Amino acid sequence: METIIIIVFLAGYLAITLEHNLKIDKLIPALAMMAILWAIIALTHMPVFEVNAELRELEPTHIDEILLHHLGKTAEILVFLLGAMTIVEIIDYFDGFATIKGYIRTRSKRKLLWLFSILAFVLSAIIDNLTATIVLITILQKVIKDRDTRLWFAGMIIITANAGGAWSPIGDVTTTMLWIADKVSALQLVKHVLLPSIVCMVVPVIVASRFKAFQGNIDSELGSLEEPKSKFGSTMLYLGLGAIVFVPFFKTITHLPPYVGMMLSLAVVATFAEIYSNSKFSISNVEGEGDDTAGHHSPVHHSLSKIELPSILFFLGILLAVAALESLGMLFHYAESLNSAIPNTDIVVMLFGVGSAVIDNVPLVAASMGMFSEGMDNPLWHFIAYSAGTGGSMLIIGSAAGVVAMGMEKIDFFWYFKKIAWLALIGFLSGAVVFILLRDFVFHG
């Protein structure tokens, strides 16, 4: 039965990677794979387990309980993403990103590459790598009209956003997991992982800046970018980003899951959006009432209708499909056998990084928590945070940032694999070398 489970998973995964060739949206194989895997488990009465990190063993449980447990964990991520995406769409409704576009004074592609890369690195650490990617690709679509050039920029944004997310406790789902599980503290994570993450960003950007795609100037008329459509644009930008930054503080104070804080942030941003929307449209409706349908159209409803719902359903399918493998104990046993086969934990952790590009990094990190019993702020956990965060850049479906960029720009899996993957690999390896040198000679020297 386990062989059939693996075949179904690989077949579904292959259909996702061949999305453009098969002309089938990736959410369809993801949802089908998830449903079939759980159906096989239910029909054949396969034993399901929950990983107990403290006892480092698998605890038998009932299929209804484990499915509800995984659905709850997945829903936390999805609701969080829905909140973040809605806030971003509300900012966009008021054309708030024109504020950032106003800072773009250069038409040099090389300078734009550095500008977008640094913005991605910083923004992903403050909000998270997924939201930062959404924000920057939204700006990118307005700044660069040529699609081929834009694909190169989008690929580099994925690498730099993932690098930025790795050193911050709120920058990536996996670092947040380690932070919540008391494996790392925020300060020590930043101290150990910031420099390797910077190297992971800088090396690919230096190499890419020599490519033909980043030579010369863009065709865009920059002057037209500086005029926002709404006078509330910059206010909504700072309010929206501030609301997302508020979420980790809310979590720290209340110890509630992050999605609760995100819903509060969304409520606050939505309130201001409604107030500004009424004042914005009441002026335009004085002369011809009824002409402007937007006058009684809520910006929140408008923003919710623009959310990338296929991405949300794709996440649901992928996360619950991987949860099926985790529940059968397959990921746990694979991690255990890997640990015994390769005694060097550095190699194991780097393989985790490579693995996170293929399989979702969330269950890989969850399995690693069961594999290793090291204490809080052990360098091992910092290395896992780095590897799981940055390793996903090597395949476009290996990270949330990659998946959302793939959806927004319709990036082909194989195009990314040929053009961008090796840049992500050299960045990942360079940062890993820096991490090991720092650990052995600076912090422990």
- Going from N- to C-terminal start, the domains of the chain cover 59-284+292-443
| Mean pLDDT computed over 296-313 | 82
| Burial class of residue 142 (count of CB atoms within 10 Å of its CB; 0-12, 13-18, 19+) | middle
- 235-248 pLDDT per residue, tens: 998 898 889 878 87
Please report, for residues 82, 109, 134, 139, 181, the alpha-carbon distance to residue 218 in angstroms, rounded to integers and kept in the order given: 33, 6, 21, 14, 46
Residue 63 confidence (pLDDT) above 50: yes
Residue 309 confidence (pLDDT) above 90: no
- 386-438 pLDDT per residue, tens: 999 899 899 888 887 888 888 888 888 889 999 999 999 999 999 999 999 99
Pairwise CA distance, residues 168 & 238, whole Å: 20
Predicted pLDDT of residue 326: 81
Query: In the structure, what pLDDT confidence band is assigned to residue 290 with cuts at 50, 70 and 90?
Result: very low
Predicted pLDDT of residue 227: 57
CA 30 and chain centroid, separation: 18
- 176-194 pLDDT per residue, tens: 778 766 788 777 888 899 9
Please report, for residues 87, 258, 302, the alpha-carbon distance to residue 242 in angstroms, rounded to integers and kept in the order given: 11, 15, 21
Report the half-sphere exposure of 408 (CA within 13 A, side-chain side): 29
Predicted pLDDT of residue 423: 94
Predicted pLDDT of residue 53: 56
| Mean pLDDT computed over 91-118 | 83
Predicted pLDDT of residue 283: 40
Residue 255 confidence (pLDDT) above 90: no
